[in-house]
Amino acid sequence: MAEAARLAEAVDLLPVGALPPGTLDALAARLSRRVELACHVLPPRELPLRRIPNRDQIDANALLEALEARATSDSRLLVGVAGEDIAVPLFTFVFGLARQGGRACVVSLARTDPSFYGLPPDPALRDERAVAEVLHEMGHLATLEHCPDRGCLMSFAGNIERVDTRGPRFCPSCAERLPHWLRGTTPPGDRV
């Protein structure tokens, strides 16, 4: 499985539930600037969305299982993008979820949008944070654990402030363990 992530040739973005038009295209465009892989947006498909009882949140564990069942190609990674808030029952929320060495991951845009925190909506900031989250989950697909370096993209972020402060790069130690298509990315601030 880890080898599949290493040998990936493309990333497929699959909408989970309803998303505003153009959201995934914008996200795919941003993501393709950060990974050396083709990024495609898949048409919406029926997914069994289980909700956590008494909480207005999608069960991320169940969703990830469903995505992994659909990630049948050895050379393509599948990223589910939810507009709604996601969580695992034991935690109040998660920004994203992946199993180390898997071929699919899921991220939510709900908490990357400033409007979640009572601020004016900012689609560009929302997508930049979401891309960082996708890259973090892809790090897990490439078998990486959380990194103790708080400036590394693989460090754990339990709130949006940490998502913003941990920075857009992998630390040299994590980068060394990443597949080439994920390693050679250029954060937007670094572009000339």
Partner 1 sequence: MRILIVDDETIVRDSLAAWFRQDGHQVDAAEGGKEALRLVNSSRYDMAFLDIKMPGMDGLELQTRLAAADPELSIVLMTAYASVETAVKAMKDGAYDYIVKPFDPDDLSMLVKRAAEHRSLRAENVRLRKSLDSQAAPPPLLGASPAMQHVVDLVATVSASDSTVLITGESGTGKEVVARAIHAASPRRYNPMVVVNCGALPEGILESELFGHEAGAFTGARARHKGKFESAEGGTVFLDEIGEVSPKVQVELLRVLEEKVVTRLGGTTPVPVDFRIISATNRDLQAAVKEGSFREDLYWRLNVVHVHIPPLRERPEDVPVLAEQFLAKFAQSMSRKPMRFSPEALDALAAYPWPGNVRELQNAIERAVVVGRNEVVRAEDLPLRVTQAPAGGPGPGSLAEAERAHVLSVLEASGWNITRAARVLDVDRVTLYNKIKKYELKKPERAG
Q: What is the DSSP letter of 120?
A: P
Nearest-angstrom CA–CA distance, 163 and 157: 6
Which of 2, 93, 164, 168 touches partner 1 by CB under 8 A? Answer: 93
Q: Radius of gyration over alpha carbons of the chain, in Å? A: 15
- Binding part of the chain for partner 1, among 18-26, 93-101, 120-128, 170-178 by CB under 8 A, reads 93-101
Q: Give min distance, CB of 166 to partner 1, in A.
A: 13
Nearest-angstrom CA–CA distance, 91 and 170: 26
Residue 90 or residue 124: which is nearer to partner 1 going by CB? Answer: 90
Q: Does 104 participate in binding partner 1 (rule CB under 8 A)? A: no
- Is beta strand 104-108 parallel, antiparallel or unpaired with respect to 96-98? antiparallel
Catalytically annotated residue among 36, 137, 145, 176: 137
Which of 91, 117, 173, 188 touches partner 1 by CB under 8 A? Answer: 91
Q: Does 184 participate in binding partner 1 (rule CB under 8 A)? A: no
Cβ atoms 160, 117 nearer than 8 A: yes
Q: Does 117 participate in binding partner 1 (rule CB under 8 A)? A: no
Nearest-angstrom CA–CA distance, 164 and 27: 17
Residues that bind partner 1 (CB under 8 A): 55, 61, 87-94, 99-100, 140, 145-146, 148, 156, 158-159, 162
